[in-house]
Structure 1
Amino acid sequence: MTTYPTEKCSILIVDDIEENLIALEALLGPLGQELVRAHSGEEALKAMLRQDFAVVLLDVLMPGMDGFETAANIKRLDQTKDVPIILLTGAEVETDYAYRGYSIGAADFLTKPFDPWLLRTKVSIFLDLHRKNRQLAAQAEQLRRLFAEARTAPAPAPRGRAASAEAEATAERREKGARGKGPRPPETSPRTATAPTEERLAEIGGQLAQIELLLRDTNAAEAPTLADRVAELERAVGSLRLRSE
């Protein structure tokens, strides 16, 4: 299977208080990722439309557009709806905060002051998921290219003794046809000869469609299983390509 280097991911941190942003940067710095600041919900939405983020850390209590409204707007946009959101709240929160957050699609809650180990662990989970999803998408794209090449590849020519026997049979059919001795034996049509390959292509195409469908709804538990399925399809298309060369 193709291997991919571990790449940096982008993390969006949203808080209207500068000191809180500085604290988050200090806590998340050891992860070695790109940290992007936003001081308001409006600024966060603009940032998310400009680039791809693995996870968003979003303060709930902000003036103007608060964290709940910002999260709801993020989930409404097709471009950003799948980005996980961790809501950040103070020690004194209302009892319905968790319900409100999960109801609009937040992935998790963290209460200030943050435990550094817990914060980095939760964020790391979403970073790993983001990388796996990107690898799966890249592998699916590679499968599509191989699948297209296999469909347009010419049928394999006979080799060795099989090629000689085919050549002799063809010459004999032509000679008999020229002398008018009996009906010309039926020749195997290219469609019949390549039927097994076409069936295999159809099978792989159907499995690839299932992978692409599952990729749109993948979660942390499904990612390893999907990776195995994509690897299996990649081997299948690769072997098909080798047989057609």
Structure 2
Amino acid sequence: MSQTANSPGIAPVWLTAFLDFPAEQFEREVAFWRAVTATTLSPSRGPTGEFATLVPADGDAFLRVQRLGDGPARVHLDVHRVGREFEIRQSPGGFVFCEVGEGESVRPKPVAWAGGHTSLVDQICLDIPAGRFDEECAFWAEETGWEVRATSRPELRFLVRPAGIPLRILLQRLDEQDGPMRAHLDLASTDRAAETRRHVGLGASVVSTGTNWTVLRDPTGLTYCVTDRNPETGLLG
């Protein structure tokens, strides 16, 4: 798999997050994430029917599911570019992602829930061992052509998402010096407490609570976060 950066000037036009689930957990996980995101499931596709799309009520799809032959549940990213042929790649730290052709174009609106709050899956967080952090930040800045910015927390940086792209990319430096690189999804919500209660009611469990985020596990153990960020802008405050 290639680790070279993309040719300059070919910026992503869309991002898709894939939720990859083991076969024995697939149906349960898909049902949970459909409820979390208020989406419907497309017809299956692929040689063995292993792929499907979570279709939003408005806008274009940016979440898909894959039934794995083996291995644990995980998240991977598809980077869409005009004129790009399909290619499986990996970052210097070993995070596997796909380069694909141009995709959809209309970012869905946040979902309104009973009680009045809204939420939206809007971010993929790359969890990076400390020894790879600077290298990965440089790689993803070159890969996307997006500016890297610091946050108020030294372990977090983000790429400035162009208007219309459905997912932000957050880069998180882990406490561990080395080890496997991985990723998780984040939701933005106007009422984190209400959104967390909704997820727990669907079968998730709370792992920990921070200043602006709550870490949860879905029913089969995949970790993700609900945050206080604005679902419209992706920003705090």
Which category describes the TM-score, using the shorter chain as reference length? under 0.3
Which structure has the highest strand share of the two? 2
TM-score between both structures, scaled by the size of structure 1: 0.25
Rg larger for: 1
